[in-house]
Amino acid sequence: MNPKRSVLVNLDELPLPAWDLVDMAAYKKIWKTSNQEFTLNIATTRGCPYKCNWCAKPIYGNRYNAHSPEYIVNQIAFLKEKFGVTRFWMCDDIFGLKPNWVQEFNAELHKRELKIRYYIQSRVDLLLKEDTIDALANSGLEEVWVGAESASQKILDAMDKGTKVEEIYEATRLLKEKNIRVAFFLQFGYLTETQEDIRKTISMVKELLPDNIGISVSYPLPGTPFYEKVKDDLKLKANWTDSDDFEMLFNGTYNSNYYRKLQRFVHKEFQKSQGIRNLKEIISNPKTISISNLKTIAKLGYYIPSAFLDTIFLKKWQDGK
């Protein structure tokens, strides 16, 4: 085993990635089969300084170092000129954490007359700082995934998340005002979770109607404080091969079957709420009719009865039947 490497603080010391080694034509060809617009990944930072106790940081740890906005814009300019790329996935754990980074990034793009579109991962508390959302919108942000996790403050505090439920609501409102799509990472099954905590999270999804959601159950990753809390429950199920995304490896409030059904139910409630919203919009303003809106409305015939049946199943599990 090699000794631990020292942390590189000034990431701008690195040369630009060797994009010339990528068979970009073949890469674009694969992208076309997905019916999605061609997008390249860019990493602007390394690490995450926050301390969510279930999150593993095996690569960069708790340190956070960032390229300068100038470095990243130089890379974007190269990719646009060389390959015609104008859409990017900023694949950082946390995008634009350093004070004024996002604002400087926006200014540098305008200075170079570069118009791009991109999407990121961030935190609701970070998005609410100063004019961050304005700068993100002006620089071309299309979509942001935030770790909402739960609408129960009790659960967020137990996770050491460091965010407030009201920040989720406020950040979502401001992002939508700027026509930026917002998506939620949600997590069920954390220790001490109750039916009331679950209900709050479902209600938040139905009320805020994010553009997308991703759902998981709390997973004990070795090396995390959360793992230490539940490791005595793991017993034989301690390897990746023993589980899937919704396998409860510890003694939570409910079992794996319940959380698998809950995941499907929340997605159905999400889709149902979107369809009802679009139906109301079309009734009040027929000019809002679109193919995508009509599709969500048509699917109500499936989601309404299916979600109702799921509530019956979930109630039985809650009652221990």
Q: What's the CA gap between 129 and 133, in Å, rounded?
A: 8
Render the burial of 193-215: b for 16+ CB within 10 Å, e for the rest.
beeebbebbbebbbebbbbebeb
| Neighbouring-strand partners of residue 41 | 89
Matching residue, tokens 């017993």? 235
Q: Is the dihedral of CA 13, 19, 22, 27 positive or negative?
A: positive
CB 45 within 8 A of CB 92: yes
Tell me the DSSP string of 177-206: HTT-EEEEEEEE--TT--HHHHHHHHHHHH
pLDDT by residue for the chain (321 residues), tens only, comes to: 888 888 899 999 999 999 989 999 999 999 999 888 999 999 999 999 999 999 987 777 788 999 999 999 999 999 999 999 999 999 999 999 999 999 999 999 999 999 999 999 999 999 999 999 999 999 999 999 999 999 999 999 999 999 999 999 999 999 999 999 999 999 999 999 999 999 999 999 999 999 999 999 998 888 899 999 988 887 655 555 656 667 888 888 888 889 999 999 999 999 999 999 999 999 998 888 888 889 999 999 999 999 999 999 898 877 764
Q: What's the pTM value of the predicted model, to 2 decimals?
A: 0.92
